[in-house]
Amino acid sequence: MNTKQTILKTAISTIKLESKAIENLSELLTNDFADAVELIYNSKGRVIITGIGKSAIIANKIVATLNSTGTPAVFMHAADAIHGDLGLILEDDVVICISKSGNTPEIKVLVPLIKNANNKMIAITGNIESFLGQQADYILNAYVAQEACPNNLAPTTSTTAQLVMGDALAVCLLELKGFSSKDFAKYHPGGALGKRLYLRVNDLSSQNQKPQVGLETSLKEVIVEISEKMLGVTAVLENEQIVGIITDGDLRRMLSKSDDITGLKAKDIMSLNPRRISEEAMAVDAKEVMEAYGISQLLVEHDGKYSGVVHLHDLIKEGII
């Protein structure tokens, strides 16, 4: 068997093993999971998530997911907690401890301290009979039969299970809160993801020039308008209403077909019923229209009147495409 085949075989085996373990998690869910979700939902405090080693890394990711979906969360490293960081935990906070074995030395020291402070504690563990499992108020069973590591040592399947359990918590809380795409945009204002959720057509078109001509505008003036406004297009207006559009493509086609262009006006070469979009529409909607009709510009309207142009390049620049 060659090296590539061996690599692919190992990869497939890993994926199948971990997917089977994830599927098995649904069989391990109990009322503790629902109770834990309701506890966090009704809490006046934050969610403090702690762990050590690879579980600490998973804890960080779950914290990020909760924060981004409207549930305030803070990471606390289990080792640092017993050296001063325990002060992170406030009276109304809910603590989630993540540990595969549930019996690591740091967890054994930390758990009684949390209990003494009367904070409710949720365990995500692969061993419900462990010290952590016995001490927790609620247990989320993340048991896995085998690590993907061929030595059954390196945390692989187990950390995937922890991660999935955290995602399940976050999604349940998201639904209970009625967390919408608008809420998501509020927590993700940066980057392409956020822009897809909050950026409107007017945010883009208002930065562009506003090419426009009338029905009786001469061909020369049309060419100058398209050239000067640098959007490859101009709207044709009558009483501030869009009646047509002329693109640089229209000009090229007209020049290739006509030997005599003397006396031609905008109304003679414009395309009727151009695609248009409201300036209040989302920028991502403009993207979908452009893709659907294979065009690179859209005329923009406000209250039925022409207000500008949004170009494919605007969407690319902002990361929408």
188 is annotated as contributing to ligand binding: no
Q: Are 296 and 290 in contact (CB under 8 A)?
A: yes
Q: How far apart are CA 164 and CA 153, in angstroms?
A: 20
- Label residue 125 exposed, middle or buried (CB < 10 Å: 0-12, 13-18, 19+): buried
Q: How far apart are CA 236 and CA 245, in angstroms?
A: 5
264 DSSP 8-state letter = -
Which amino acid type is present at position 82? I
Q: Domains in the chain, ordered, with CATH?
A: 3-179 (3.40.50.10490), 201-317 (3.10.580.10)
**How much of the chain is in helix, strand and coil states, percent to nearest 5?**
50, 20, 30
Q: How far apart are CA 242 and CA 249, in angstroms?
A: 19
Name 207's Cβ contacts closer than 8 Å, sequence gap at least 6: 314
270 DSSP 8-state letter = P
Task: State the helix-helix crossing angle for 191-198 and 283-293, rounded to 10 degrees.
Answer: 90
Q: Are 141 and 132 in contact (CB under 8 A)?
A: no
pTM above 0.95, yes or no: no
**Torsion sign across C-alpha atoms 220, 225, 230, 232:** negative
85 DSSP 8-state letter = G
Q: What is the pLDDT along the chain (321 residues), one digit of tens a residue?
A: 579 999 999 999 999 999 999 999 999 999 999 999 999 999 999 999 999 999 999 999 999 999 988 899 999 999 998 888 888 999 999 999 999 999 999 999 999 999 999 999 999 999 999 999 999 999 999 999 999 988 988 999 999 999 999 999 999 999 999 877 666 666 665 555 666 667 889 999 999 999 999 999 998 899 999 999 999 999 999 988 899 999 988 888 888 777 677 788 999 889 898 999 999 998 888 999 999 999 999 999 999 899 999 999 988 888 777
Complete edge-to-edge strand list for the sheet that includes strand 297-302: 276-278, 297-302, 305-311
